[in-house]
Homo-oligomer: A and B are copies of this chain.
Amino acid sequence: MFIIKIGGNILDSPGRLRTFLVDFAQLHGPKVLVHGGGKIASSIGLKLGIEPVMVNGRRVTDAGSLDLVTMVYGGLINKKLVAQLQKYQCSAIGLTGADANLIKATKREIKEVDYGFAGDIAGSEDVNVVFLQSLLQQGITPVIAPLTHDGNGSMLNTNADTIASVLAIALSKSFDVKLMYCFEKRGVLANTDDDKSVIHHITPSIYEELKEKNVVNSGMLPKLDNAFSALNQGVKEVLIGEANTLLDLNKQVNFSGTTLSLK
């Protein structure tokens, strides 16, 4: 089965989004879509007088920002994706971590930075796998917003890459899971200025080498760390590449982006 994460760069472009959703609907087998939406949330927030505060590339979620992301991720973006997938004969259901207690998290402990209502997921045991399986067995495709809940009445804001990785780990106990991060580049690049310099295969030892030689862009490191953490916990493969290569996954061809595996 496939877990596909799409980020803001696709959500922001109606044309690319439509192409992506048509392809996603055609992807064979059980599948889950995880989406972000930070840029859209920030732009609506500005109109509402909510200034985005970012520390180390992560949003600080005060009460107003929590309402904002709950509206934008859980409502606007999520439901538009679902309505469009229904059009393409993919019976989608939009969910946050609160729905059916899908993903429980803990409000991030205040250390150097107070991230506010940011939710950290302890592990894949905090995923309601039974419910996800029931949906997949009914042919229903979960579309998941980057929101969790604390079990004590509050929503929490959680990074979409992390949600995709935790779901992949949780489902890998029952399925052969491939996790794909769709982003704006062709894959992990050896030279960020050269779009053709895709590194096609990364194993843990190659990853160590790339880090030592400072080849990998620092913005890429959290994604790769997340990916190897997923592989170490049972996920079969992690793929990183452009959204328009999605349907390669239906074919027995080499993936044109980056494939990560343990060996």
Question: Does A221 make an interface contact (CB < 8 A)?
Answer: no
Q: How far is the CB of A195 from chain B (nearest CB, A)?
A: 32
Bound-complex Cα distance A155 to B83 (A)? 6
Of the candidate stretches A27-35, A96-104, A166-174, the one touching chain B is A96-104
Q: Please tell me if the beta carbons of A86 and B149 are within 8 angstroms of each other in the complex.
A: yes
Give the complex CA separation of A150 and B83 in angstroms: 8
* Min C-beta distance of A64 to chain B, whole Å: 11
- Chain B residues contacting A82 (CB-CB under 8 Å) are 96, 98-99, 149
Do B131 and A138 have beta carbons less than 8 Å apart? yes
A 36-67 binary contact with B (CB < 8 Å = 1; else 0): 00000000100111000000000000000001
A215 on the B face (CB < 8 A): no
A79 touches B140 (CB 8 A): no
Per the bound structure, the CA–CA distance linking A78 and B101 in Å amounts to 14
A76 interface neighbour in B71, B79, B91, Cβ under 8 Å = B71
Q: Which of B70, B87, B101, B134 contacts A75 (CB 8 A)?
A: B70
Q: Which of A100, A131, A151 has the most CB of B within 10 A?
A: A100
Supposing A74-B74, A87-B152, A152-B87 touch, asked if A79 and B96 sit within 8 A by C-beta, the answer is yes
Q: Is the CB of B98 within 8 A of A83?
A: yes
Is the beta-carbon distance between B87 and A155 smaller than 8 angstroms? no
Q: Is the CB of A94 within 8 A of B87?
A: no
Contact status B75-A98, CB under 8 Å: no
Q: Which of A74, A79, A94, A151 gathers most chain B CB within 10 Å?
A: A79
**A155 contact set on B, CB distance < 8 A:** 79-80, 83
Q: Which of A49, A73, A94, A152 has the most CB of B within 10 A?
A: A94
A187 to B140, CA, bound (A): 40
0/1 interface trace, chain A 132-171, chain B, CB 8 Å (1 if under):
0010001010000001011111110000000000000000
